[in-house]
């Protein structure tokens, strides 16, 4: 949580854990990552659920090592504030370098024609994945894929720039409004060279 006075100083932070929550940011081997490094948020607390209803396999996976694996990737600072970077299942591995889809989305949101965007990894024969984006354009505006790619080139490292951009009238979402990226992945073919 963030106290009211902390919001202005740390607008990107999700805050610090409540006193009844034990929280860590860890690597894949459940080792704490250094301050400022990205890792998965794991936690445990008395108010945490005991598992998934009638799903022991998913429960065992989610509570591996005695910690609940949130699936959120974050950085933690020296004062214990965490900043969410992305969802673990949404990171893109391009040429062995892992990047946060959210960073590319934030760059695309800076374009005046972009209303919504979802960035995903597309399978690539030699680079593992390349970056692709599905964009919903604001009503009454138009933009070409090349203009959005150029926009990203001015703001991101070359390996983070989308190789493919497709447009959609809307993004698929669940009942709570979360974008369903898994449904978007099937829209793209394997990337070329």
- Give dist(CA 188, CA 122) in Å, integer: 7
- Give dist(CA 105, CA 179) in Å, integer: 12
**What is the pLDDT confidence band of residue 187, given thresholds at 50, 70 and 90?**
confident
Residue-wise pLDDT tens digits, 78-116:
999 999 999 998 999 999 898 999 999 999 999 999 999
Domain with CATH 3.30.300.30 in the chain: 91-185
CB–CB of 98/91 below 8 Å?
yes
The third-level CATH classification (topology) of the domain covering 4-86 is Luciferase; domain 3 (2.30.38)
Strands (E), 47-167: 68-76, 82-87, 92-94, 97-99, 114-124, 128-137, 164-167
User: Which pLDDT belongs to residue 193?
Assistant: 43
Residue-wise pLDDT tens digits, 41-50:
999 999 999 9
Q: Does residue 27 have a pLDDT over 90? A: yes
Tell if the pTM clears 0.95, that is, is over it.
Answer: no
Domain with CATH 2.30.38.10 in the chain: 4-86
User: Which pLDDT belongs to residue 1?
Assistant: 92
User: Which pLDDT belongs to residue 96?
Assistant: 87
Q: Does residue 190 have a pLDDT over 60? A: no
In CATH, 91-185 is 3.30.300.30: yes
Residue-wise pLDDT tens digits, 46-66:
999 999 999 999 999 999 999
Q: Does residue 120 have a pLDDT over 50? A: yes
- Give dist(CA 38, CA 35) in Å, integer: 9
Instruction: Region of 46 please: left (phi>0), alpha (psi -120 to 50) or beta.
Output: alpha
% of the chain residues with pLDDT over 90: 86
């Amino acid at each position: 949580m963030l106290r009211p006075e902390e919001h202005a100083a740390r607008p990107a932070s999700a805050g610090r854990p409540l006193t009844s929550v034990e929280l860590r940011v860890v690597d894949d081997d459940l080792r704490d990552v250094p301050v400022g490094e990205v890792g998965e948020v794991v936690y445990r607390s008395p108010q945490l659920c005991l598992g998934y209803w009638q799903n022991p396999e998913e429960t065992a996976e989610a509570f591996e090592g005695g910690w609940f694996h949130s699936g959120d990737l974050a950085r933690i600072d020296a004062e214990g504030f965490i900043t969410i970077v992305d969802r673990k299942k949404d990171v893109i591995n391009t040429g062995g370098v892992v990047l946060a889809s959210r960073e590319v989305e934030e760059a695309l949101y800076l374009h005046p024609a972009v209303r919504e965007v979802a960035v995903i990894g597309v399978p690539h024969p030699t680079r593992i994945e390349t970056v692709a984006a599905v964009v919903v354009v604001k009503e009454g505006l138009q933009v070409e894929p090349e203009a959005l790619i150029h926009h990203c080139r001015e703001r991101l490292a070359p390996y983070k720039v989308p190789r493919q951009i497709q447009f959609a009238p809307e993004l698929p979402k669940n009942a709570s409004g979360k974008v369903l990226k898994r449904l978007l992945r099937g829209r793209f073919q394997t990337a070329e060279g």
